[in-house]
Amino acid sequence: MEVCKRYYSVKYFRLPDLLLELQAAREEEKFTSVLKKYTKPVLLILDEWLLFKLSEAEAKNLFELIHKRRIYSSTIFYTQFRESEWYSQIYNQESTLADAIMDRISYNSYKIEIESSDPQKDVSMRQVYGLDPSLAK
């Protein structure tokens, strides 16, 4: 919210959607122009970060994005995985590509891990808002 209040450009994307768009752009030979859409914002928020294991093509596309954003802009990664588990979600955790992606993310970054103080008292957003879980689609 603070970034928006200061009139910086902010974009939010789900990583699965972003990866689909980047791959389609690469196939249509529009990769460079589409990549600019994701490199321009001062702050890029990526939700569902590494929710699914990446293919080699997805990892290559992601590397290009992370590499271009690393110096002049900020990226927030929302994920359910600890950073130590990210390697296993990238194409081939033994590959230099996984190392290159993680190096660009980890170098010069701040990490905020949100842990539950009492997992027994955790409630879902459905419970907070009084929604019936059986109605979920």
Q: Helices marked H in the chain — which ranges? A: 2-5, 15-27, 31-39, 56-69, 86-89, 96-106, 125-128
**pTM for this one?**
0.79
Residues 8-67 have pLDDT tens digits of: 999 999 999 999 999 999 999 999 999 999 999 999 999 999 999 999 999 999 999 999
The confidence score (pLDDT) of residue 113 equals: 79
